[in-house]
A and B are shown apart, each in its own frame.
Chain A
Amino acid sequence: MTLSQADFEFVSQLVKREAAIVLAPGKEYLVEARLIPVARQVGAASVAEFIGNLQRKPNSADQRRIVDALTTNETSWFRDREPFTALTDVVLPELVKSRGSARQLRLWSAASSSGQEAYSLAITLQEALPAGWNYEIMGSDISTEMVKRAEAAEYSQVEVNRGLPAAQLVQYFERVGAHWRIAPHLRRNVTFKHMNLVAPLPPMQPFDVIFLRNVLIYFDVATKKSVLRNVARLLRPDGWLFLGAAETTIGIDDNYERVAAGRTSAYRVRSAVPAGAVRKG
């Protein structure tokens, strides 16, 4: 089944407005192919139904989903760079001090997509943690397909070009046919789970660091509140939450406090971190 002319026109105008991309007439099949997984994800029976709902009741989250699906946005390694630098320079040194007896860290890459963020975290820890420390990283995604892909840990040539320094490509990946696969010593520290952040979360051990980036932008305020509340329960009292550059807890959840972390910001649960200068022991 192909997209109706009116639906195609609606999508064309949307992506032209939002992303300055022009979809030439005749690309209906392509729009349809890209939007089938999106429609499925939001629970619509078909692309036509998904677009119909959106036309009747416009919402920015679904509009964004469409734009994303049509703009071939591969995930980069160390996306936005700064949070990873902050992890190395600020967060890990502090955690190494406070977790000296356990020597074990747990990190969560929420909405991990095809796994680049989770494995970028693994590379960061591999290089920054002192000898004798262990870490586990959990990635979670709403798409079981993405969970499978992240577990397979295989990336195309084009994907490994994105933001990954060549020295790390040769050190942490192995070539498998046309692809590159994350090396086993890194892979064994990373697991992936299927999880819907909007539904009640399964019981889990708390995390020292949570990366929840470019997820909240898809939700309305009520959903943002509930996700942030759930996440706070899974963050250790002195843990760190990283959001996307365009996201904040301010005005949504007052339990969090924004703190400087290197050249970026992170969020910590308020009661745990007394305001004022950090005393050095």
Chain B
Amino acid sequence: MSVETVVTEDDLAEMVEQVWASYLDPEGVSPLIPTADADQPTEVHSTVSITGTWHGHLVYASSMQAARKAAGAFLAMELDEVGQEDISDVLGELANIVGGNVKAMLPAGCFLSLPTVVLAPQTASYYPAAERISGLWGVWDGEPISISMWQSTKTGDNA
């Protein structure tokens, strides 16, 4: 079974909307607006890996400012109080939440890793033998954010 038909961009968009409604924009006044701009720059990212009957990664990436704002919203802190540790923690949890929901849409028997956070552009990470299969790009209050799914190709003999 190909995963493209299992987790679509619409599905990702809906999950993102729910994360925003729950934590980042509970009043519904500052949504993530899709841009479809695959080249928008990122400064930080977090990854959760999925293993088992399906192999791949879910990556959450954004600008530093968007990450700082997300941390401020989660931790109820002023933006100038937000430190690096706060940003790491919140980025990790965002990848974890979206990743867990993605996992539930994959074939049964998958496991979710703990998140890894890298305070560097997404291009700093390389996912060996994995290709991007789905993704979402948008701006939140003018700041770039992306969520993407990567599928490992080497274990793809059941496709």
Contact = CB atoms under 8 A, between A and B. Distances in A.
Interface residues of B, number: 16
Contact of B21 (A158, A177, A178): A158
B104 A23 contact: no
Nearest to A175: B104
A72 B21 contact: yes
B28 interface: yes
Contact of B18 (A27, A34, A70, A156): A156
Interface of A: 21, 23-24, 27, 30, 34, 70-72, 156-158, 175, 177-178
Interface string B18-38: 100110001111110000000
Contacts of B6: 177
27 contacts: A21-B27, A23-B29, A24-B29, A24-B30, A27-B29, A27-B30, A30-B28, A30-B29, A30-B31, A34-B28, A70-B28, A72-B21, A72-B26, A72-B28, A156-B14, A156-B18, A157-B15, A157-B18, A158-B18, A158-B21, A158-B22, A177-B105, A178-B11, A178-B14, A178-B15, A178-B101, A178-B105
Contacts of A175: 104
Given A24-B29, A30-B29, A157 B11 contact: no
Contacts of B18: 156-158
Contact of A157 (B26, B28, B30, B101): B101
Nearest to B26: A72
Contacts of B31: 30
Nearest to A176: B105
Interface of B: 6, 11, 14-15, 18, 21-22, 26-31, 101, 104-105
Main secondary structure of the interface of B (DSSP, over half): loop
A21 B30 CA distance: 13
A203 B18 CA distance: 41
Contacts of B21: 72, 158
Contacts of A34: 28
A83 to B, nearest CB: 27
Contacts of B22: 158
Contacts of A24: 29-30
Given A30-B29, A72-B28, A178-B101, 11 more contacts: A24-B30, A30-B28, A72-B21, A72-B26, A157-B15, A157-B18, A158-B18, A158-B21, A158-B22, A178-B14, A178-B15
A72 B11 CA distance: 20
A24 B29 CA distance: 8
Closest 4 CB pairs of A and B: A72-B28, A178-B11, A158-B18, A27-B29
Contacts of B30: 24, 27
Contacts of A156: 14, 18
Nearest to A27: B29
A40 B145 CA distance: 34
Contacts of A72: 21, 26-28
Contacts of A70: 28
A14 to B, nearest CB: 15
Contacts of A71: 27-28
A51 to B, nearest CB: 18
A177 B28 contact: no
A166 B21 CA distance: 21
Contacts of B26: 72
Contacts of B28: 30, 34, 70-72
B26 to A, nearest CB: 8
Nearest to A70: B28
